[in-house]
Structure 1
């Protein structure tokens, strides 16, 4: 299984200039390749092959006076920029023809030098890990790395990223060891995600919602007000933009750290984990949009899924239309819809009193078990 390991980089001033040059060259090559294919399509010409496009916008362009400065950066950076363009087109074609599942994929778009996030990707012939613990990037130099953990294997590629807050990161792609599979345990758990409580587990545990964005709103409001008063194009405005970006980055880092710790604990303690397949995009269009985005359900669910695959656990999603808040987990009788302000209710059939969220988590667990036992893979009703 391939995973990404991200570490903080601390390049010197000269290395930052070299990285900025690499970011710019990769962006120009990407845009040149995209423009060449768009012009060929408009002229009714056949689709330009990947190798022909590389000869046109990289090899031949370096010999011209207008693009001679492309030779100042590693050729690996330029080739990988075109590889990203090829991947974008393949994903677009697969989405249009129906071969790719999920939401529709748009065609590649031009990259802007004003984008807050810049990145380059290098394969093994463009970087090395030095014995002194530094990352050597071709035509940039040895960049200090803050190693928070060790890599499970030698990386196959690295992506050097500069985020909106001005921080530099190295994202390594590594192959994980199959020996990381955890020993089997007995418990299984269903999870009901919400806003009042971030997660309610079928065993009765409730994880309060940290609300990282809500807690940082006052500082963000003041920083954004300060930004609005700065003249466009001024140095003070650039500093104010960076200040707002750092506050948002701090919120995102805290949320990601919380999701990692919680998902790891759940996967470690349970053999099977089931969650509801929520329509996060639809919920984000309601008046609860800010709270939904602040919770980060999609990121947390994705972490549960890949960690379950990594450590040999079972992960499953149940139908979002499952009446989990209306069904009694004791007798499986559907008691009818209930408004959101009703947090406890009593089943009309067996007279059992339920906590709304805990009961929903137990219904999710029952539905997940039933779906797992269904050999055909179709949707079935949860059994008692």
Structure 2
């Protein structure tokens, strides 16, 4: 199992300057190696699909690879001695990131889709560097030893779990400071809870009005943190995100009014980023609490396998991003995997139109929030009807699969009904 723990760093002024300098040099090297890939691609491609009988064929150049670009790093430190201030393994992570970004663009994924063309990193856009090898004794007494930077103070708000070994360490610069992320690994494979019961199962339907509606007719309203933060209410008492110091709209206006390239604009951008970070952290806290509440009451949670990327491109994009369904599903799955519980993913097609009592199809528009079945006269909420259908589909899927003995992987048990 692989998990990650993140802590906030309290570097000194000198250490913060070293971190910023390291990120800036890594950004230059990333852009240089990415440009090498683009030059190879442009010189070895042809814009036409046919050619005359007599033509000049230029000599093809070798494609830059991770190993070829990695071998150029020793010469880089000779030509530019200031790169010696970066740990060698940290510098070797740059060609790995370049290859990953370039291959995702050139090659398609399992569904045949290709990602967009990678972009060059602008100022302050390279935010993370990684130490791929780390020893346990380098993190003691609320201090972490980072090579070429020094012993940096860490705010340990929770201890590392027992039985886990630190595999990699990442240092990230965010709008509200510097953070260190420990990637932990435990070789032992956790088992599903021995007292897991088929009856303790719940189906949940996520939405934009109610964030979660369970099959037991319990609902959690959508907090809508982004929209509350954007709203200009002028009051100090309407929500902790609606105070005057946290208005995203006014902060965005300040950025747009500042002259591009000026120091005042950079300062306004940092203030806007802090407000967005506060909204994101508040949303993430809400997701953790909701997932913990569900898993503390049920052993099996059934969810829909939604196409969130497709929904985020619709007219409801802002509301979908504000709800954060993808992050919630990931948190729910990770917590279930660590607790030895089941997450069952079912097909979402027809959960809102199918009657949970008789199975009759009742077509509805998005504005219709009630399910009224003309065949069995069932009248319940639209989301509640969908949650019950999700629960019934999950029961049909796991009917002959429990009791299960073991599962593997960091994401816990995931069953899909197709």
Same fold? TM cut 0.5: yes
- How far the C-alpha of 1:204 sits from its partner, in A, is 1.0
- In the TM superposition, structure 1's runs of 4+ consecutive aligned residues that sit over 6 Å from their partners are none
Q: Tell me the residue number matched to 2:128.
A: 119
Counterpart selection for 2:74 from 55, 59, 70: 59
Change in CA separation of 1:193 and 1:84 when aligned onto 2, cut-off 3 Å: same
1:275 and 1:317 in contact (8 A); partners too: yes
1:182 and 1:268 in contact (8 A); partners too: no
**Secondary structure of the structure 2 residue equivalent to 1:275:** strand
TM-score scaled by structure 2?
A: 0.81
Q: Tell me the residue number matched to 1:339.
A: 365
Q: Tell me the residue number matched to 1:39.
A: 39
Q: Tell me the residue number matched to 1:170.
A: 180
What is the rounded CA distance, in whole Å, between the counterparts of 1:23 and 1:166 in structure 2?
A: 16
| 1:17 aligns to 2:9 (yes or no) | no
Counterpart selection for 1:326 from 353, 369, 389: 353
Q: Tell me the residue number matched to 2:228.
A: 215
2:105 and 2:115 in contact (8 A); partners too: yes
Q: Tell me the residue number matched to 1:7.
A: 7
| 1:302 aligns to 2:317 (yes or no) | no
Q: Tell me the residue number matched to 1:154.
A: 165
**Secondary structure of the structure 2 residue equivalent to 1:168:** strand
**Secondary structure of the structure 1 residue equivalent to 2:296:** helix
- How far the C-alpha of 1:136 sits from its partner, in A, is 1.1
Change in CA separation of 1:113 and 1:184 when aligned onto 2, cut-off 3 Å: farther
2:130 and 2:169 in contact (8 A); partners too: yes
- How far the C-alpha of 1:360 sits from its partner, in A, is 0.9
Change in CA separation of 1:338 and 1:38 when aligned onto 2, cut-off 3 Å: closer
Change in CA separation of 1:291 and 1:238 when aligned onto 2, cut-off 3 Å: same
**Secondary structure of the structure 2 residue equivalent to 1:144:** strand
Q: Tell me the residue number matched to 1:81.
A: 94
Q: Tell me the residue number matched to 1:258.
A: 286
What is the rounded CA distance, in whole Å, between the counterparts of 2:270 and 2:215 in structure 1?
A: 43
CA deviations over 1:309-367 (Å, ceiling 9, x no partner): 3322222222232x222222122222x21233433333222223222211110001112
- Counterparts of residues 191-230 of structure 1 (less than 5 Å): 191-217=204-230, 218=232, 219-230=247-258
- How far the C-alpha of 1:127 sits from its partner, in A, is 9.1
- How far the C-alpha of 1:250 sits from its partner, in A, is 0.3
Change in CA separation of 1:378 and 1:192 when aligned onto 2, cut-off 3 Å: closer
Q: Tell me the residue number matched to 1:353.
A: 379
Q: Which 5+ residue runs of structure 2 have no aligned equivalent?
A: 45-59, 233-246, 402-414
Q: Tell me the residue number matched to 1:50.
A: 66
Q: How many pairs are equivalent?
A: 369
Counterpart selection for 1:363 from 384, 389, 393: 389
**Secondary structure of the structure 1 residue equivalent to 2:169:** strand
What is the rounded CA distance, in whole Å, between the counterparts of 1:263 and 1:370 in structure 2?
A: 23
RMSD: 2.6
2:311 and 2:320 in contact (8 A); partners too: yes
What is the rounded CA distance, in whole Å, between the counterparts of 2:306 and 2:105 in structure 1?
A: 25
- How far the C-alpha of 1:220 sits from its partner, in A, is 0.8
Counterpart selection for 1:140 from 110, 134, 149: 149
